[in-house]
C-alpha cells in the first residue's frame, strides 16, 4: 500500500486547546489528523442516519414500486445490474424507516 500523500495546512486554535493536545500527544499533526478522521466518520454516520429517517424521494418511489418491478423499467442492457434475490427484503415505513417485512 502506497503511503498517503500529506498536505501542509495552517489552522488557528485557542492556546488552551493546543496546550491540551500537547499534554496528551507529542505529535500534534497525528493527533489532529486522527481527530479529524474521527469527526468525519461521525458526520458520515450522522448523515446516513438522517438519510434513513428522511429518504430521497426517488428512494420512496422505488420502495413503493418494489425492487423487482422497478428493475423491469431498466434499459434492456442494464438488467444484469440487479439481482433482486441477492438481498434482504425491506419495506419503508414512515414511522419506523426501512424494516424487514413481517413474515
Residue 45 clears pLDDT 70, i.e. is over it: yes
Give the integer Cα–Cα distance in Å for 39 and 25: 18
The closest of 42, 29, 37, 9 to 21, measured between CA atoms, is: 29
- Confidence at residue 103, expressed as pLDDT on a 0 to 100 scale: 57
Query: Angle at CA 84, nearest 5°, toward 79 and 89?
Result: 155
Proportion of the chain above pLDDT 90, given as a percent: 39
Mean pLDDT, residues 59-71: 72
Residue 19 clears pLDDT 90, i.e. is over it: yes
Q: What share of the chain is helix, strand, coil (3-state, %, to 5)?
A: 60, 5, 35
pLDDT band at 18 (very low <50, low <70, confident <90, very high): very high
Amino acid at each position: 500500500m502506497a503511503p498517503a500523500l500529506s498536505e501542509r495546512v495552517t489552522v488557528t486554535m485557542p492556546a488552551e486547546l493546543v496546550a491540551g493536545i500537547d499534554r496528551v500527544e507529542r505529535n500534534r499533526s497525528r493527533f489532529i489528523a486522527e481527530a479529524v478522521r474521527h469527526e468525519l466518520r461521525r458526520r458520515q454516520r450522522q448523515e446516513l442516519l438522517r438519510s434513513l429517517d428522511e429518504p430521497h424521494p426517488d428512494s420512496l418511489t422505488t420502495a413503493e414500486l418494489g425492487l423487482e418491478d422497478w428493475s423491469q423499467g431498466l434499459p434492456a442492457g442494464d438488467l444484469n445490474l440487479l439481482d433482486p434475490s441477492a438481498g434482504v427484503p425491506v419495506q419503508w415505513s414512515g414511522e419506523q424507516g426501512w424494516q424487514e417485512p413481517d413474515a
